[in-house]
Amino acid sequence: MNTAAAAGTWKLGDLEVSRVGYGAMRLTGNGMMGNSDGAPIDRAAAVALLHRAFELGVDHIDTAAFYFSPLRSANELINRALAGRHGDVVVATKVGPGRDAGGAWLPMARPDQLRGQVEENLRQLGRDHLDVVNLRRNGPGMDSIAEHFGALAELRRAGLIRHLGLSNVRPEHVTEALAIAPVVCVQNSYGLDWRRADETGLVDLCGEMGIAFVPYFAISGLRREAPAQQRHDARVRSVARAHGATDAQVRLAWTLHRGPHVLAIPGTTDPAHLAENVGAAALRLSGEELALLDAPAARTSSGTGEM
């Protein structure tokens, strides 16, 4: 049985995790981009899915307090699934953006409001401290993150947060944050068809700094926003056929091949897709296959992507 361990491990500070994790957004049935992903799965089924992920070697989860719908909260599902497993699974959450009780997006939190967001994550997850908190830069107009990241660094010193990360940032934001406190991960939109992080050198910068790069939309060719020629890329299909794999597995494997510091957090509510995603950890692409996938380069996206 293929497990997440097949991709190797990376350390988020002092927390060693398998390079294939799980993104919890889909558990709520609520699309973060204004699109509905359908009704949330049954609560018991969601917990069972997370337990299955743990059995497959997944030991880190990406979540946020703003991952909720009228019926589900991703954090509270994770809390339930982790009963008796605290310490075995690393949970990374995000702060900065927020949503009101009706689901409408709120303005980016002020630095003095971040403690409230951290405490809400603590409450929902049933923790006395958070393993990793990513400051999610909300929109291109936020040029400096120093004041916000400094507020989180204070909460880290107070013991509410173990490690800090960044999300939706540019290289200069990483440099700005490192002058304030250690950064263990950077989470940006990135995948075979959406490579802006390559254009800015962010993936390589993280590798040089020993920082995990954690892409969301790694299976980006399957996004409905992607042009049809990308969603049905002949290059991906040919590599998938050669390995008896799915297109999604090839896209995940390509992402993991970008460097030992690159992690993946694919999300799904389907147990079969979960097993497929984890199975990508064992998929080894040849140099020729990587060259085929890399050229001609796919169109990149300048959008901010998923929350």
What secondary structure letter does DSSP report for 126?
T
Residue 20 included in any domain: yes
Residue 167 included in any domain: yes
Could you give the number of structural domains in the chain?
A: 1
Residue 73 included in any domain: yes
Residue 223 included in any domain: yes
Residue 230 included in any domain: yes
Residue 2 included in any domain: no
State the alpha helices, DSSP H only, in the chain.
43-55, 74-81, 114-125, 146-157, 171-178, 196-199, 202-209, 228-231, 234-243, 247-256, 271-279, 287-294
* Residues with active-site annotation: 67
Query: pTM for this one?
Result: 0.90
Residue 123 included in any domain: yes
Q: What is the pLDDT along the chain (307 residues), one digit of tens a residue?
A: 789 999 999 999 999 999 999 999 999 875 544 334 567 679 999 999 999 999 999 999 999 999 999 889 999 999 999 998 878 999 999 999 999 989 899 999 999 999 999 999 999 999 999 999 999 998 767 899 999 999 999 999 999 999 999 999 999 999 999 999 999 999 999 999 888 888 899 999 999 999 999 998 888 544 444 444 455 589 999 999 999 999 999 999 999 999 999 999 999 999 999 999 999 999 999 999 999 998 764 444 434 444 4
Residue 307 included in any domain: no
Range of 183's domain? Answer: 14-294
The CATH number assigned to the domain holding 22 equals: 3.20.20.100
